[in-house]
Amino acid sequence: MPTPLQRELEDMLPAQDRLLDPADCWAYGADNSRLHAAPEAVVFARDVPAVVELVRLCRRLKSPLIVRGRGTGTTGAVVPDRGGVILSLERMNRILEVDPANRWLVAEPGATNTEVQQAAGRAGFFWPPDPTSSAFCTIGGNLACNAAGPRAVKYGTPRDNTLGLAAVAGTGEALRTGVYTTKGVVGYDLTRLLIGSEGTLAVITEATLRLTPLPETRQLLQAVYRDMHAAAAAVARIMAQPVTPCALEFMDAAAIGMIRGYADTALPEHAGALLMIEVDGSHAQIGLAAEAVRRAAGGDGCLGIEIAASAADAERLWRTRKALSPALRNIAPKKINEDVVVPVSRIPELIDGLQELGRRYGITIVNFGHAGNGNIHVNLLVDPDDPVQMRAAESCLDEVFALVLALRGTLSGEHGIGLVKREFVRRELDPVALQLMRGLQRVFDPDGIMNPGKSLPDALETTSRP
């Protein structure tokens, strides 16, 4: 028997733009977090009027509305744990405009990151955010959690590379934010507010992205260190000199141990940390830039630095980093992966603390990530089918987040909050700031239909004194 929502969707949309059968809807109830909940319906919007009509319907029926790209997120942000409608934007995937003279590109949210890069590349530009899942993830998803990738160390995140947005608020009203210029200070910055809001305020229907000219060439260096302290000191030196790398990735000793046997590497047996450093620029300057970074990367504790002399050398060096994901999938196919950020100078303290937590809870913890901005991917290798191990992992994660905050860090750099970190958020945010955020949420979404139960924790219950 169809529900009232399903009956209205049948009247509102053609059959090809909706799914109502539970079996058809099932696949849209999960993301890469492995969490799952069944939606009541799935809708495929093709234009802004369809989004407006759907938001107004959900508001009238008080039905949750969860906006989805391709489901590559890892935090459960698009899991419909309270039922309702999944709004898939995969069919709103057009590149609407590329303007090389003004260095912008306008795209719909369902376009993939790679499709945007290809369109920009044909004009000699690129959009800096480049998550690992760029071939599959959508621009809307990148904006929803401010997903950046390795290039953020030099070029910034989506918040730094988006000029304006079109969106539909939870009120059912369409709006525009931002500018078409690189400067603009009229009104409040709603563009940066919507980016990272994980669909809890509005449905992003269009993005004006700021483009950057493609560099003429790149140079890759691989540096190996005795321990994480020596590597972190090198990162600080690299980031203090004038040449900013376009990528500065690291792996700790546990990660290096994982890849032995999975890649053709010649890393020393006693290697305690590894940096992959890439610089970009003009052909005339790249040699000087690489040499400046090489000098900064050397020093006490450095066991060796190799500079790729050819594309084949670069591919061989990157193979070390690329071997980590398959190694982790083979050893721990259901690992817990958290992304946290600490000040660069505190990375050694974080790694030391994580190693201690791993020993105390009997859990192998493997760390890698974006060293240039302190964004560390913390991987707990556990078996989720083992209840004892999962209880230990829950307690361990609690202490991981406490450690990050004690080091003046933040709970997420680019994966977002979603469901999995939601209850930890009040540990980081100032209570007054959190209250103001909830007020903003009520303005955009007065009936609480936009991705409810995600990102911000519920207000704590208060009881009056007798």
Residues 243 and 179 placed together within one structural domain of the fold? no
Length of the chain: 466
Residue 40 belongs to domain with CATH number? 3.30.43.10
d(C-alpha 264, C-alpha 453), whole Å:
45
CA angle 390, 38, 379 (to 5 degrees): 30
Residues 100 and 81 placed together within one structural domain of the fold? no
Helix 286-297 with 228-240: angle, nearest 10 deg: 140
Residues 257 and 186 placed together within one structural domain of the fold? no
Can you give the residue range of the structural domain that contains 130?
95-213
DSSP symbols for 97-156: EEETTTTEEEE-TTSBHHHHHHHHHTTTEE-S---TTTTT-BHHHHHHHT---TTHHHH-
Q: What is the pLDDT of residue 465?
A: 35
Classify residue 462: in a domain, yes or no.
no
Residues 81 and 100 placed together within one structural domain of the fold? no
Q: Which residue has tokens 């007054």?
A: 432
Residues 316 and 404 placed together within one structural domain of the fold? no
Mean pLDDT lowest among 60-74, 305-319, 396-410, 444-458 = 305-319
Classify residue 149: in a domain, yes or no.
yes
Structural domains counted in the chain: 4
Phi/psi for 213 (5° steps) reads -60, 140
Q: Is 458 exposed, middle or buried (0-12, 13-18, 19+ CB in 10 A)?
A: exposed
Residues 222 and 309 placed together within one structural domain of the fold? yes
User: In the predicted model, what is the mean pLDDT of residues 88-99?
Assistant: 98
User: In the predicted model, what is the mean pLDDT of residues 303-317?
Assistant: 91
Q: What is the pLDDT of residue 92?
A: 98
| DSSP at 461 | P
Q: What is the pLDDT of residue 19?
A: 98
Strands 174-178 and 212-213: unpaired
> Does residue 461 register a pLDDT over 60?
no
Cβ atoms within 10 Å, residue 14: 8
Name the domain boundary from 88, 123, 140. Answer: 88
Strands 202-210 and 162-169: antiparallel
Mean pLDDT lowest among 123-137, 220-234, 325-339, 421-435 = 325-339
Question: Going edge to edge, which strands form the sheet with 162-169?
Answer: 95-99, 104-107, 202-210, 162-169, 174-178
Q: 373 falls in which pLDDT band (50, 70, 90)?
A: very high
DSSP symbols for 63-90: --EEEESSS--SS-TT--TT--EEEE-T
pTM listed for this prediction: 0.94
Per-residue pLDDT of 324-365, as tens digits, reads: 877 777 777 678 889 999 999 999 999 999 999 999 999 999
Helix (DSSP H) and strand (DSSP E) numbers for the chain? 16, 18
Q: What is the pLDDT of residue 261?
A: 64
Classify residue 463: in a domain, yes or no.
no
Residue 265 belongs to domain with CATH number? 3.30.70.2190
Mean pLDDT lowest among 138-152, 166-180, 308-322 = 308-322
Residues 252 and 339 placed together within one structural domain of the fold? no
Q: What is the pLDDT of residue 147?
A: 96
Q: Is 279 exposed, middle or buried (0-12, 13-18, 19+ CB in 10 A)?
A: buried
Residue 169 belongs to domain with CATH number? 3.30.465.10
Residues 368 and 303 placed together within one structural domain of the fold? no
Classify residue 466: in a domain, yes or no.
no
Name the domain boundary from 33, 64, 88. Answer: 88
Name the domain boundary from 297, 324, 351. Answer: 324
d(C-alpha 8, C-alpha 5), whole Å:
5
d(C-alpha 238, C-alpha 297), whole Å:
6
Mean pLDDT lowest among 219-228, 403-412, 451-460 = 451-460
Classify residue 451: in a domain, yes or no.
no
Q: What is the pLDDT of residue 356?
A: 97
Residues 172 and 268 placed together within one structural domain of the fold? no
CA angle 12, 15, 18 (to 5 degrees): 75
Q: 263 falls in which pLDDT band (50, 70, 90)?
A: low
Classify residue 430: in a domain, yes or no.
no
Q: What is the pLDDT of residue 333?
A: 65
d(C-alpha 450, C-alpha 349), whole Å:
39
Residues 290 and 376 placed together within one structural domain of the fold? no
Residues 342 and 272 placed together within one structural domain of the fold? no
* Residues 278 and 221: beta-carbon distance below 8 Å: yes
> Does residue 125 register a pLDDT over 80?
yes
Per-residue pLDDT of 384-441, as tens digits, reads: 888 999 999 999 999 999 999 999 999 999 999 999 999 999 999 999 999 999 999 9
* Residues 33 and 76: beta-carbon distance below 8 Å: yes
Residues 209 and 129 placed together within one structural domain of the fold? yes
Q: Is 341 helix (H, G, I), strand (E, B) or coil?
A: strand
Q: What is the pLDDT of residue 119?
A: 98
Averaged pLDDT of the chain: 93
Q: What is the pLDDT of residue 464?
A: 38
Cβ atoms within 10 Å, residue 180: 13
